[in-house]
Every structure is written in structure tokens, then in C-alpha cells.
């Protein structure tokens, strides 16, 4: 049984690594306190994407920041509407900008390309903030 679990863990690792390599994104974005930070994600191979979702990684899990799909267009969720905007809207290439970053914005952000039949294909970028406290 332990061998089966080890095999499944290795298989899952390769599968998720393979999917994450389908997305081109920055590993880190550095911004000065009060300035803007841009995040972009691009699929390296065309997929049948239904929606792109941006999420902020929090200690309790993730929080949806914004979504884009062809039916409803770009939607920024209420807690982020004050300073998050879409720069590029698309199902293969999507980018957002956080205006006037604060310490509270410092975190990792995920872009999820919700594709059929693959499911979520994700990339991750971590925001580092420079500046006085």
C-alpha cells in the first residue's frame, strides 16, 4: 500500500508540474510601497479556456480577486475594486494591476485558467513590497 501511495504522489507531482509549465508568469514581482504592481499569465499552448480567475493566497487559503470570461467580461470582486484593474483581458493571456500597493497586498497571487477538459491550469506570482513601513 505504501508503494502505491508513493507512486500516486510522484505521478501527481509530475502531472501538476506539467500543467504549471503550461503557464508563463513572473515568479516574483517587486513594487515600491504606493506604486503599481502588474501580474501577467500566459498559456504556452492554446486550450479551451472558459474563465480566468485571479486569487490572493492568504493564511486561511485563497481569496478570489478577479475573474474574466467571454460572457460577463472582467469582474473585480468588491474587496479589491478600490485598486485592482485588468490590463489585458483574454482567455489565453490575462493580466491585472494593483494600483498603489500597500503592505496588505504583499502576498502570492495565482492565476487559474479554467480549461475543458483539463480543469484548472495555474501559475503563481509573489508580490514583494519595498519601502518604509
Q: Are 52 and 36 in contact (CB under 8 A)?
A: no
Q: Give me the chain's average pLDDT, please.
A: 88
pLDDT digits (tens, 9 = 90+) for 31-58: 999 999 999 999 999 999 999 999 999 9
CATH fit for domain 2-130, picks 2.60.40.10, 3.30.360.10, 3.30.390.50, 3.40.50.300: 2.60.40.10
pTM beyond 0.85, yes or no:
no
Q: Are 88 and 94 in contact (CB under 8 A)?
A: yes
Nearest-CA neighbor of 115 among 127, 125, 123, 106?
A: 123
pLDDT digits (tens, 9 = 90+) for 111-129: 999 999 999 999 999 999 9
Output the CA–CA distances (angstroms, integers) from residue 52 to 36, 75, 94, in the order listed: 21, 10, 7
All structural domains of the chain with their residue ranges: 2-130
Amino acid at each position: 500500500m505504501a508503494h502505491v501511495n508513493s507512486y500516486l504522489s510522484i505521478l501527481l507531482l509530475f502531472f501538476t508540474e506539467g500543467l504549471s509549465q503550461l503557464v508563463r508568469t513572473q515568479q516574483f514581482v517587486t513594487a515600491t510601497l504606493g506604486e503599481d504592481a502588474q501580474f501577467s499569465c500566459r498559456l504556452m499552448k492554446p486550450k479551451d479556456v472558459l474563465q480566468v480567475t485571479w486569487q490572493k493566497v492568504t493564511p486561511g487559503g485563497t481569496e478570489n480577486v478577479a475573474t474574466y470570461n467571454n460572457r460577463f467580461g472582467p469582474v473585480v470582486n468588491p474587496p479589491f475594486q478600490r485598486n485592482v484593474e485588468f490590463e489585458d483581458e483574454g482567455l489565453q493571456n490575462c493580466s491585472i494591476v494593483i494600483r498603489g500597493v500597500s503592505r496588505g497586498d504583499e502576498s502570492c497571487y495565482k492565476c487559474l485558467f479554467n480549461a475543458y477538459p483539463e480543469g484548472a491550469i495555474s501559475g503563481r506570482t509573489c508580490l514583494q513590497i519595498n519601502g518604509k513601513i
